[in-house]
A and B are shown apart, each in its own frame.
Chain A
């Protein structure tokens, strides 16, 4: 795939072309001092690029918080079913995602495809183009480099844009979808050389990235977790946990969902919506029996699922180190801190 350069000042022009091409564009928007992904209709709506993170991840592009699985209609004793056509999913561009957003789609895709193919997710993802911007700053909650990512990591991106100190931005095109997006504004791009490890452009890209030394490795965590099921650490760490779903819902890799009914008399829809392993009712049987009866067992499930079960079963880690869960947690459950303490046990 090709690399291009574009002037910082032309990025808005490119975004305008993307909007004009009829794509649904989701981008960081700041309201009342808080920045989150929102649909936008003009580059002017996009938040200033001085944010580490949006509140929510980009997963909503392919895994919305609520979506129709199919609809039904009852007539007399008969039932007829109808399902959403993939064509009804809008061509979507996620503008200025972060590399950790893009990385999240690898574990998400693993969950949705490891056995049965979830073609609703797949159809949405096929219609989603991720334009990630390299991170020039990180905060106290970021730890992408500890889980295999990085502030300038291309994995999962359709395009990775890195703003260089020269006033130009390096545009690394990673997929056909990305190429199609660059092709919308041919006049704004000039071709750039491949970003080889020893090229000046690579050095320039590196110099533009946030510095974030790794604090532990995925392997460290996994090794420790293998022996940790009965550890008191789960109760210690989760005592203050309120059992809400904030961490799961802002997470780029949490994919647990519920299936619910939306009846309207003789017709209705079946809906898939986000759910969380932190909720007590997630696993509770009708009889009242609950395989994970305490918040400590649910917190353990969250960590083991992401860092032990998923790697073992799906060859994917359920965490991109984005830190969103820690920022969103009402009681400051800090994942980096908790993982570091597990890795040091």
Chain B
């Protein structure tokens, strides 16, 4: 057992945490999967390496999975930390309820007990931009408007509306999603090209300025549709319009400043 596994086993055994969410080996050697550890024995199964790509922050707002009492540990990747911080900023999870932990090189466990420690850790561990994603966005940017429309129509015609993109996203935590609202029926609920595009536009717009760029939506899509390009592109737009700084509470499109450059605010 790794030293950090032992540390977590001890935390479960002595009640420091009631539950630890992390990763374990998956069905094939190429992948890992989320693991809920309720006891010290299960902690032996925890792994942390480059294969750990699920965004575990998605579980932090699922109350039915979490014990009512006690702290919940999360063995987190940087992407998980970024989403957890965003959830705190949006008042979706209280600081202190979760004990986020990062596993560094040589298996060193770093406890990140509050939003400030998360901010510092994330700042110290910047994630490299994915050149493939950047290249794809450039390719689509270079298209004419007609070509781009045809590209997305073709791509999203394949969507089956399984909503794995929504289910895998830590920031899609609404208990009643707009697609489930039928008075009025904002988005047609079946899978065909236009309703699929409506859904993705809505998903992406709701992510504007909030998306942390983890790529969980794309990773979850059973059809491997490159829907993360939409959120990524929108993040670029937000950065261009509002800068890369994010407010400590709320998000770019739901906060305002009295000295905003637009005059409608006054």
Contact B27 A332 (CB under 8 A): yes
Is the Cβ of B58 less than 8 Å from the Cβ of A242? yes
Please, how many angstroms separate the alpha-carbon atoms of A295 and B54 in the complex?
19
Chain B CB within 8 A of A308 CB:
no
Contact B163 A244 (CB under 8 A): yes
B236 contacts chain A at the CB level, 8 A cutoff: no
Bound Cα distance from A333 to B36, whole angstroms: 13
B64 touches A295 (CB 8 A): yes
Which of B28, B34, B190, B222 is within 8 Å of A260, CB to CB?
A: B190
Contacts of A320 in B (CB 8 A): none
B36 near A239 with CB under 8 A, answer yes
Residue B166 interfacial (CB < 8 Å): yes
* A53 located at the interface, meaning its Cβ lies under 8 Å from any Cβ of chain B in the complex: no
- Count of CB-CB pairs between chains A and B under 8 Å: 97
A65 touching B167, Cβ below 8 Å: no
- Taking CB atoms, residues of chain A closer than 8 Å to B34 are 239-240, 331
CB of B197 within 8 Å of the partner chain: no
CB contact between B27 and one of A36, A55, A140, A294 (< 8 Å): that residue: A140
How many Å lie between the Cα of A337 and that of B28 in the bound state?
Answer: 12
With an 8 Å Cβ cutoff, the count of chain A residues facing the other chain is 38
Q: List residues 120-134 of chain A with CB under 8 A from any CB of chain B.
A: none
Distance in angstroms between the alpha carbons of A271 and B189 in the assembled complex? 10
Query: Considering the chains assembled together, what is the distance between the CA atoms of A107 and B120 in angstroms?
Result: 55
**Interface pair A246/B164, CB less than 8 Å apart:** yes
CA distance A337 to B160 in the complex (A): 26
Partner of B191, one of A36, A55, A244, A274: A274
Q: Contact: A65 with B190, CB < 8 Å?
A: yes
Contact between chains at B26 and A56 (CB < 8 Å):
no
Q: Hey, which chain A residues are within 8 Å of B36, CB to CB? A: 239-240
Most buried by B among A141, A246, A249, A260: A246
Selected from B35, B166, B188, B192, the residue in CB contact (under 8 A) with A240 is B35
Contact with B167, one of A242, A261, A328 (Cβ below 8 angstroms): A242
Query: A49 at interface (Cβ–Cβ under 8 A)?
Result: no
On chain A, the residues within 8 Å of B204 by CB distance are none
Size range of the interface on B?
20 to 34
In the complex the two chains form, is B27's CB within 8 Å of A244's CB?
no
Is A331 a contact partner of B189 (Cβ separation < 8 A)? no
Interface string of B121-141 (1 = CB under 8 A from A): 000000000000000000000
A66 in contact with B164 given A240-B33, A331-B33, A332-B31 (CB within 8 Å): no
Is B168 within 8 A of A326, CB to CB? no
* B27→A249 contact, CB < 8 A: no
Q: Is B265 an interface residue (CB 8 A)?
A: no
- Given A36-B223, A55-B222, are A273 and B190 neighbors across the interface (CB < 8 Å)? yes
Q: Does A330 contact B (CB under 8 A)?
A: yes
Chain B residue contacts of A281, Cβ below 8 A: 180
- Give chain A residues whose Cβ lies under 8 Å from the Cβ of B224: 32, 34, 55
Contact of A245 among B64, B158, B161, B185 (CB under 8 A): B161
User: Which residues 282-329 of A sit at the B interface, judged by CB distance below 8 A?
Assistant: 294-295, 326, 328
In the assembled complex, A276 has its CB within 8 A of some CB on chain B: yes
Task: Answer whether residue B219 sits at the interface, using C-beta atoms and an 8 A cutoff.
Answer: yes
Closest Cβ of chain A: how far from B173's Cβ, in Å?
12
In the complex, B13 has a CB within 8 A of chain A: no
Cβ of B205 within 8 Å of any chain A Cβ, yes or no, is: no
Residues of A contacting B31 in the complex (Cβ-Cβ under 8 angstroms): 332
**A249 B33 Cβ-Cβ under 8 A:** no
Write out the residue numbers on chain A whose beta carbons fall within 8 Å of the beta carbon of B178. none
**Bound Cα distance from A242 to B173, whole angstroms:** 12
B40-66 near A? 1/0 per residue, CB < 8 Å = 000000000000001000110000110
Contact status A242-B168, CB under 8 Å: yes
| Nearest neighbor of A60 in chain B, beta-carbon distance | B160
Q: A243, B167: Cβ atoms under 8 Å?
A: yes
Instruction: Give the chain A neighbours of B191 by CB distance below 8 A.
Output: 65-66, 273-274
> Is B253's CB within 8 Å of the partner chain A?
no
Interface: B220 (CB within 8 A): yes
Known: A32-B224, A244-B220, A246-B162. A330 touches B28 (CB 8 A): no
- Give the chain A neighbours of B59 by CB distance below 8 A: 240
Using known A-B contacts A65-B191, A239-B65, determine if residue A249 contacts B222 with beta carbons closer than 8 Å.
Answer: yes
- A294: nearest chain-B partner, CB-CB: B64
**What 1/0 flags go to A35-62 for Cβ under 8 Å of B?**
0100000000000000000011000000
Query: Smallest Cβ distance from B191 to chain A, in angstroms?
Result: 5
- The chain B residue with its CB closest to the CB of A141 is B27
Check B223 against A330 for contact (C-beta < 8 Å): no
Q: Given contact pairs A271-B190, A332-B27, enumerate 13 new A-B contacts (beta carbons under 8 Å).
A: A32-B224, A55-B222, A239-B36, A240-B36, A244-B164, A244-B168, A244-B220, A258-B189, A276-B162, A279-B163, A294-B64, A330-B219, A331-B34
Sort A-B residue pairs by CB-CB distance and give the 10 closest, nearest first.
A273-B190, A330-B220, A328-B222, A242-B167, A332-B33, A244-B167, A245-B162, A244-B164, A66-B190, A240-B34
Q: List 29 A-B contacts (CB under 8 A).
A: A34-B223, A55-B222, A55-B223, A55-B224, A65-B161, A65-B192, A66-B192, A140-B28, A141-B27, A239-B34, A240-B34, A240-B36, A242-B168, A244-B167, A244-B220, A246-B162, A246-B164, A249-B160, A249-B222, A250-B222, A258-B190, A260-B189, A261-B185, A273-B189, A274-B160, A274-B191, A276-B162, A295-B64, A331-B54
- Residues of chain B whose beta carbon lies under 8 Å from any beta carbon of chain A: 26-28, 31, 33-36, 54, 58-59, 64-65, 158, 160-164, 166-168, 180, 185, 188-192, 219-220, 222-224
